[in-house]
Structure 1
Amino acid sequence: MKLSPIRNSVTLVIMLAFFHFSTNLAAQSLAYKTLLFTLYDSDFPVLEPAQLTDLTKYQILDTREKEEFEVSHLKGANWVGYDTFSLNNVASLDKDKPVLVYCTVGARSQDIGKRLKDVGFKEVYNMYGGLIEWVNEGKPIFHGDFQTNKVHTYSKSWGIWLTKGEKVY
């Protein structure tokens, strides 16, 4: 019996959550990296938060849903959504300027990034680990123009990976 990719991901999250709670913080990092490895395509470029020293070099797209974006986002990010995503949302962007896409962990943003590449965007990067990794590395997030520590983690099961900040579901 073949399980759907979503069911496989949920099963993996549960297994890794058990691993997370039964080991130390260093192992949690390994568990999170293992989870991300299963979600990402090896041929789609990622940039780790430590590599993103100047966000102004990118057109930043938040591919989460509106209620997630409204809790917090990267400074200068434009909300484009995932379930509601439309190429009309990115019609005004420069296809020759680098684009950084992100979501909670990087799965949804990778899908949107592929769509952008398919319509001619030259440089599209997925933010490794998503907003969770960004915050865990101590990088700032914003609610409007003000810095915040609140992070919408999509769900409680994904929220286990957030080690810094305040979880919002």
Structure 2
Amino acid sequence: MNYKLTSILLFFVAALPSTAQESLSQLLNKHNTKSVPYISVQELAMPKTEALILDTREWQEYQVSHIKNALHVGYTHFNLEETTKLLKDKQLQIVVYCSLGIRSEKIAQQLKDAGYTNIFNLYGGIFEWKNNNFPLYNLEKKETEYVHTFSKAWSKWLLKGNKIFND
């Protein structure tokens, strides 16, 4: 009798939709092509890493917080011509980021196609940066705990800091 009951329970459990949590790695593998190499937040935070940092999120996200000295280039209104005017050296190390590293890969690919040879996508984006306790700054150049998470759905990936979204 126990065997029969166990078999029935296993059947119903197997029929239920999977509730397994998707990992960050799985999410990025699903959305990205890896055409631009990743750089870890730990590597970017190292004092010896000298890179120009480009924030590819929307302006309202950047206003809430960003990585220190990051230059906002946006996503929806990204202008390759205007950006390349600021980036004269095509061998300059450039790190692009967004919330998680999905939008930033698309912008990085445009820069790569324009001839930039030393470009990296920040693995896990600003969320991974904050999740590893690295500081963020607001427009007044003051450290902040607030992070714009783009949407409620994406906010589950931010484990530290105060979440702001427009949903």
Please tell me the TM-score bracket, short chain as reference.
0.7 to 0.9
**Relative to total residues, which structure has the larger helix share, 1 or 2?**
1
**2 CA distance for matches of 1:143 and 1:122?**
30
Q: CA deviation at 1:43?
A: 3.5
Residue equivalent to 1:146? 142
The CA distance in 1 between the partners of 2:90 and 2:47, in whole Å, is: 19
Structure 2 unaligned spans of 5+:
1-16
1:84-123 aligned at under 5 Å gives the runs: 84-87=77-80, 88-93=82-87, 94-123=89-118
Matched, 1:41 2:33: yes
* Structure 2: distance between partners of 1:92 and 1:58: 14
Residue 70 (structure 2) aligns with: 77
Structure label with greater radius of gyration: 2
Question: How far apart, CA to CA, are the structure 2 residues paired with 1:47 and 1:54?
Answer: 14
Segments of structure 1 that go 5 or more residues without pairing to the other structure are 1-14, 21-29
Distance 1:162 1:50 in 2: 17
Taking structure 1 as reference, are residues 43 and 86 closer, same or farther at Cα in structure 2, changes over 3 Å only? Answer: closer
- How far 1:31 sits from its partner (Å)? 1.8
Distance in structure 2 (CA, Å) of the matches to 1:64 and 1:106:
10
Query: Which of structure 1's runs of 4+ aligned residues deviate more than 4 A?
Result: none
Q: CA RMSD, aligned part only?
A: 1.8
- Separation of aligned partners in 1, 2:100 and 2:145: 17
Distance 2:39 2:31 in 1: 15
Q: Equivalent residue of 2:61, what SS?
A: helix
**Which amino acid in the other structure matches residue 101 of structure 1?**
V
Write out per-residue CA displacement over residues 57-116 of structure 1, whole angstroms, 9 at most, x where no aligned residue. Answer: 111100001000000000010000111000213312122211000000111100000000
Change (3 A) 1:69 1:77: same
Task: Give the TM-score of the pair, scaled to structure 1.
Answer: 0.80
Q: Following the alignment from structure 2 to structure 1, what is the Cα–Cα distance between the partners of residues 133 and 105?
A: 23
Counterpart-to-counterpart distance in 2, 1:115 and 1:42: 14
Counting matched residue pairs gives 145
Q: TM-score, normalised by structure 2?
A: 0.81
Counterpart selection for 1:167 from 159, 163, 166: 163
